[in-house]
Structure 1
Amino acid sequence: MKKNKWSLLLAALLLVSTVLAACGGGSDKSSGKGSKDSEQVLRLMNADQIPTMDSSLATDTFAFQFLGESMEGLYRLGKDGKIEDGIATEHKVSADGLTWTFKLREDAKWSNGDPVTAHDFVYAWRRAVDPATGSEYGPYMMGGVIKNATAVNKGEVPVEQLGVRAEDDYTLVVELENPTPYFESLTTFGTYLPLNQKFVEAQGDKYATSTETLLFNGPFTLEKWTSTSNKWELVKNKNYWDKDSVKLDKITFVVVKDPQAGVDLYDKGQVDRAGLSSDLVDMYSSNDDFITIPQANVFYLKLNQVRNGEKTPLANVNIRKAIMMAVDKEAGVNEILNNGSIAANGLIPKDFVKVPGKDKDFRAASGDLAVYNKEEAKKYWEQGLKELGVTSVSLEFLGDDGENAKVFNEYVANQLKTNLPGLEITIKNVPFEQRLDLDTAEDYDIQFSGWGPDYLDPYTFLSLWVTDGPNNHMGYSNPEYDKLLQDAQTTLANDQDKRYEAMLQAEKILLEDAAIAPIYQRSLALLSSPKVHNIIANQVGADYEWKWAYIK
């Protein structure tokens, strides 16, 4: 989630700041230094460690990226977002849109030789919503979609009543709570991956903590990995049903958080892609290897209204509105990021989906809902301080610790302090996994966060902020907002025109409440070796698809 979708979430998770530009890795210029053109080895960087490889527990863009390459669900994403065959070869949908029947291929195997069957999907999906698992994404991705998913997660009905069953080893039947037009794309996402029950249960608490405690059924196997690894590999899976389509023998990864260090590796020919910070864009934008990749990932400030059981100053709507208006986003994207990213004046990204019947981009139809205006920001700020009965406020600003992230976090914090007199900001930059933990614990005031879409529908963004939602984690609640989103998934599910009108209205409410402060929509600036071909940048789900990539 993109991802995340994403989570990316991401998503992201979903991820914070352009440190994620390094996700793609780095490259030697066009000379091909350091490797032979005939070698099918791609050498990339990752911006941080992989927190988990448990598909039921994954919540971030790194986990979903590597799950997506080492595992395969019913379908996977191909070029231009086209849905390609995975373990499923076909499906049928009932006339009422509630029952989906998938036919599975009989030549798919796990990396230990076991066949991949419909039972593996039933087990995995039940595990994802079982309250004993403690999954965040299970109830988020399946609740309101698969029949009884929410009731199972709340402990109201047994897990066996989840709307998924194996009619036989190679026929999977799924019952939905409501018609879900985007369900096919949902099945490409990491939470919907299958699991080998016998293997998972044999590993116990050690499952998905290292290469040795994982099974794979995707294009690659993840090798030399533990949850604390700074280096690992994806190796072509010889048991994969479509192995002839996989040209790469191996992809190597090294964690690099500093963009300059990544470019140094690229210039030395030790990696094949490198993300660029703004100062490096100025240096390399005329380089033949320079590329930009527009994305649907949106970054924003989460404004936590309740911390450790106590209301924060951010529970005041005027304080939130002031913060939402106080950051010069155009200067941020043009002068700090300098990578093609654009200012975000709403939650739903530009060029993501069109409003049915209007042939108009959702962002254009919704308009600018969160614009920079320091004069108005100051007025809201003064009113908020008056209502709180204080003359100053001190807030903690939580962000990631990558070099690009730290620079942008400093910029945003300075904008807030400069434009809102009496505001004191303490920046807390932490490793990515720690930030996720602090988010889950709601132990922050302001957090710089982001979301990559998990599927091609505005609901993937808007559902983040429903009351007590598994990704809310900031104490926001608005019954009218909740009702609009509930209607979008239930009574309006078969009327796309009215459904989109409900989601347009929901976005307006979210930003009238200043629940979050949108900052920018990401674009990645990279150096990419001309030897590298056919890496697919996804709009939803995992950031990249490497199945069809090759070196030439």
Structure 2
Amino acid sequence: MTDRHILTRRTVLGSAALGAAAAGLAACSPPEGTPGADSGSGASDAGGDGKSAKDTINLFMYQKPNGIFCPIAPSSGPDNQVMSLLFEPLLIADAEGKLVPRIAEKEPEVSEDATTFTFTIRKDLKWSDGQPLTARDLVYTYTRAADAKSNPGAGMYGALQGAAEYNGGTATEISGLTAPDDTTFVIATTGPNAGLLGQIATLLVMPEHATKDLAAETFASDPYWSAPTAASGPYQFGEFKTDQYVKLTKNPEYREPAKIDNVFLKMVTADVATSQLGTGELDVAAISANDAESVEALDTVTITDVPTNGFVRACWNQTQERFKDVKVRQAFLCAVDREGIVKSALAGKGKVRNSAFDPAQTPDGIDEYAFDPERAKKLLGEANWDGSQSVKLAWIAGGNPDRDAAATVIQSQLKDVGVTVELQQVEGSFFTPAYKDRTYDITIYGGGDYKSEPFSTYNILATDRWNPQGGNNGYYSNPEVDAALKAANEAPDADDRQKQYEAAAKLENADPSQMWLYTPDTVWAVAKNLQGFTGLSIDKGFIDAQKWTFTA
């Protein structure tokens, strides 16, 4: 066999990497140090002293955050934006989807059977309050994440040696998490786990000294996380002003001090964000693809398209009998012109999705569910769909124009085949209780990364990952899909893994887990005088913020 067939440290990493009143702000002149203020420092450029020509950067936050900045709490894209500046993981997916070291000094050493993962931690790291960040913080973080009392999603960490005993009350520590010294962290699993790094090595590390006394049952919702006092990223928490902004300040203990002192993440609608790019009140914004041409015409802004690794979907509540019928789910897909949504709402900057799996793991010959109202009507008839029932479609409006357009199209085109849809505009706080209590019909949301590590699909498809145990928010269950995914993750041979993923994708395509809509590009608009900005998918947050700097 050649090297590409054997599961080694290189192939494990390679697999994981290939496959990681708002408007009012514009109407007034804010005091210096608040969003939109003229915060020029007077420096002529970002020259040899590393000083930025402006000491404040204003970023667009496309929705209101939940405001609980805890790495293991249910989070929205805006929460992730904030946390990506506050906390760091062992490894992070860069703009190309490759996992690169962050708190880790280098790539981990992986045993031949992919059951032991040894990380070397950077030396002399500190939290923003001056306390040392060591491998003990890693043991603590992963223990909290695997603790079913602290983390409803602890099932993702069930493969750790000793996790079952810990949660069962027969052990006080998780044997698969050890720190031989301050700069060495070791993870051991119960069996081969080729997808481990892409799944859990990107967990943001939490400060043991600041959070160890928080009660397990309320850990992820504790008020501490509304204003965390210890950060490991380039910025530390400053202030959260509801419905207006989140302010962060430079972390004085970060290993590479940020060049810009203050970050404001502003909560405005997409149309206001586009306007504020023109006035200079925003420096960075993810914009609608349909606005790209007009924004690009601005002398002060550049445009960059970034492909995303997740997708936008309409998620059925499959605890409802009507959505358990595969013919109903297939009918919904055929009834909606998803290609039309991509062309009109995304200006072609995206692709229709026909599986939860990345195209690299999706085989040829699957059902493309082309726009076909007659097929949809036939399927609904065979399923004895009750046309007197209405369906509520919930989503957060205003921050993502493509999702607003998708909701309207879905409502209109499902009506044409006999399905009545009521549009329900909600806040971010709607989702956690709605999923927990199963009180929704369909929700629209986006995100995820199913390219960097294909096994990440397990979290949204597997029967044992039903919310809140994981991200299976639709309560989908297909034992054959579960089995194929587990077989792929345990296979030491790369070709075997690919075959199993393709088998799972084919099964899930025939038995749709959710109404896959499209994979959008993120279109970033960035001030021309901002240097060092690298755009990621909008829901992933930011990377290398310490390198950002303004030129004069």
What TM-score, normalized by structure 1, do the two folds share?
0.81
1:485-525: CA deviations, max 9, x gaps?
121223x2x12211221111112211211221111111123
Cα distance in 2 for partners of 1:93, 1:514 equals 35
Larger CA deviation: 156-165 vs 246-255:
156-165
Amino acid aligned to 1:341: G
**Is the contact between residue 139 and residue 149 of structure 1 (CA under 8 Å) also seen in structure 2?**
no
1:304 and 2:305 correspond = no
Give the counterpart of 1:510 among 491, 496, 508: 508
What is the CA distance between 1:291 and its match in structure 2?
3.4
What is the CA distance between 1:188 and its match in structure 2?
4.8
Give the counterpart of 2:238 among 207, 215, 223: 223
1:118 and 2:135 correspond = yes
**Is the contact between residue 339 and residue 525 of structure 1 (CA under 8 Å) also seen in structure 2?**
no
1:326-351: CA deviations, max 9, x gaps?
1101111111232612222332244x
Residue number in structure 2 paired with 1:327: 336
SS in 2 for 1:53: coil
Residue number in structure 2 paired with 1:23: none
**Is the contact between residue 451 and residue 461 of structure 1 (CA under 8 Å) also seen in structure 2?**
no
1:163 and 2:160 correspond = no
1:359-380: CA deviations, max 9, x gaps?
xx33465755443322211210
Amino acid aligned to 1:165: T
Residue number in structure 1 paired with 2:144: 127
Cα distance in 1 for partners of 2:454, 2:337 equals 26
What is the CA distance between 1:102 and its match in structure 2?
2.0
Cα distance in 1 for partners of 2:63, 2:312 equals 18
Larger CA deviation: 399-408 vs 293-302:
399-408
1:437-473: CA deviations, max 9, x gaps?
3123322112212232177122212441111412223
Cα distance in 2 for partners of 1:249, 1:485 equals 45
What is the CA distance between 1:35 and its match in structure 2?
5.6
Aligned pair in 2 of structure 1 residues 528, 112: CA closer, same or farther (>3 Å)?
closer
Residue number in structure 2 paired with 1:402: 398
What is the CA distance between 1:156 and its match in structure 2?
6.6
After TM superposition, the structure 1 = structure 2 runs for residues 229-268 of structure 1, keeping only pairs within 5 Å, are 230-243=244-257, 246-256=258-268, 258-268=269-279
What is the CA distance between 1:286 and its match in structure 2?
4.9
Residue number in structure 1 paired with 2:104: 88
Cα distance in 2 for partners of 1:157, 1:451 equals 37
1:427 and 2:397 correspond = no
1:266-323: CA deviations, max 9, x gaps?
22111112343365346446556343322122111211121xxxx3311222111101
Cα distance in 1 for partners of 2:493, 2:164 equals 23
Tell me the C-alpha RMSD between the 2 structures.
Answer: 2.9
SS in 2 for 1:443: coil
Residue number in structure 2 paired with 1:477: 477
1:143 and 2:158 correspond = yes
Aligned pair in 2 of structure 1 residues 247, 184: CA closer, same or farther (>3 Å)?
farther
What is the CA distance between 1:215 and its match in structure 2?
1.1
Amino acid aligned to 1:242: E
Structure 1 unmatched ranges of 5 or more: 1-13, 15-31, 351-360
Determine which structure has greater relative contact order: mean sequence separation of CA pairs < 8 Å that are 6+ residues apart, divided by chain length: 1
**Is the contact between residue 449 and residue 456 of structure 2 (CA under 8 Å) also seen in structure 1?**
yes
**Is the contact between residue 304 and residue 475 of structure 1 (CA under 8 Å) also seen in structure 2?**
yes
Residue number in structure 1 paired with 2:117: 100
Report how many residues are paired: 490
What is the CA distance between 1:218 and its match in structure 2?
1.4
Cα distance in 2 for partners of 1:484, 1:278 equals 37
1:214 and 2:234 correspond = no
Larger CA deviation: 177-186 vs 507-516:
177-186
What is the CA distance between 1:175 and its match in structure 2?
0.5
Amino acid aligned to 1:222: F
1:525 and 2:539 correspond = no
Amino acid aligned to 1:139: G
After TM superposition, the structure 1 = structure 2 runs for residues 287-366 of structure 1, keeping only pairs within 5 Å, are 287=298, 289-306=302-319, 311-338=320-347, 340-350=349-359, 361-363=360-362, 365=364
Cα distance in 2 for partners of 1:104, 1:520 equals 38
**Is the contact between residue 129 and residue 229 of structure 2 (CA under 8 Å) also seen in structure 1?**
no
Aligned pair in 2 of structure 1 residues 286, 472: CA closer, same or farther (>3 Å)?
same
After TM superposition, the structure 1 = structure 2 runs for residues 367-516 of structure 1, keeping only pairs within 5 Å, are 369-385=368-384, 390-402=386-398, 404=401, 405-418=403-416, 420-421=417-418, 423-453=419-449, 456-469=452-465, 470-490=470-490, 492=491, 494-516=492-514
1:153-188: CA deviations, max 9, x gaps?
5x3753513510121222212102333345444455
**Is the contact between residue 303 and residue 524 of structure 2 (CA under 8 Å) also seen in structure 1?**
yes
Give the counterpart of 2:56 among 41, 59, 62: 41
Cα distance in 2 for partners of 1:437, 1:67 equals 22
Aligned pair in 2 of structure 1 residues 319, 62: CA closer, same or farther (>3 Å)?
same
After TM superposition, the structure 1 = structure 2 runs for residues 71-82 of structure 1, keeping only pairs within 5 Å, are 71-82=87-98
Between the two proteins, what is the percent identity of the paired residues? 22
SS in 2 for 1:505: helix
Aligned pair in 2 of structure 1 residues 156, 322: CA closer, same or farther (>3 Å)?
farther
Cα distance in 1 for partners of 2:387, 2:239 equals 55
1:37-56: CA deviations, max 9, x gaps?
61143211102233221112
**Is the contact between residue 233 and residue 252 of structure 1 (CA under 8 Å) also seen in structure 2?**
yes
What is the CA distance between 1:424 and its match in structure 2?
1.1
What is the CA distance between 1:132 and its match in structure 2?
1.4
What is the CA distance between 1:88 and its match in structure 2?
2.3
SS in 2 for 1:233: strand
- The runs of 4+ residues in structure 1 deviating greater than 6 Å are none
Residue number in structure 2 paired with 1:28: none
Residue number in structure 2 paired with 1:18: none
**Is the contact between residue 48 and residue 255 of structure 1 (CA under 8 Å) also seen in structure 2?**
yes
Residue number in structure 1 paired with 2:25: none
SS in 1 for 2:383: helix
Cα distance in 1 for partners of 2:291, 2:196 equals 41
Residue number in structure 1 paired with 2:82: 66
Cα distance in 2 for partners of 1:295, 1:111 equals 31
Residue number in structure 2 paired with 1:21: none
Aligned pair in 2 of structure 1 residues 454, 441: CA closer, same or farther (>3 Å)?
farther
1:199 and 2:244 correspond = no
1:173-224: CA deviations, max 9, x gaps?
21023333454444552xx33333232135666453332x431111111211
What is the CA distance between 1:126 and its match in structure 2?
1.0
Cα distance in 1 for partners of 2:294, 2:434 equals 36
Cα distance in 2 for partners of 1:114, 1:56 equals 22
SS in 1 for 2:59: strand
Larger CA deviation: 42-51 vs 318-327:
42-51
Aligned pair in 2 of structure 1 residues 207, 102: CA closer, same or farther (>3 Å)?
farther
1:375-414: CA deviations, max 9, x gaps?
21121011112xx6x4543211121132624343122211
SS in 2 for 1:426: strand
What TM-score, normalized by structure 2, do the two folds share?
0.81
Larger CA deviation: 77-86 vs 51-60:
77-86
**Is the contact between residue 143 and residue 174 of structure 2 (CA under 8 Å) also seen in structure 1?**
no
Cα distance in 2 for partners of 1:505, 1:150 equals 30
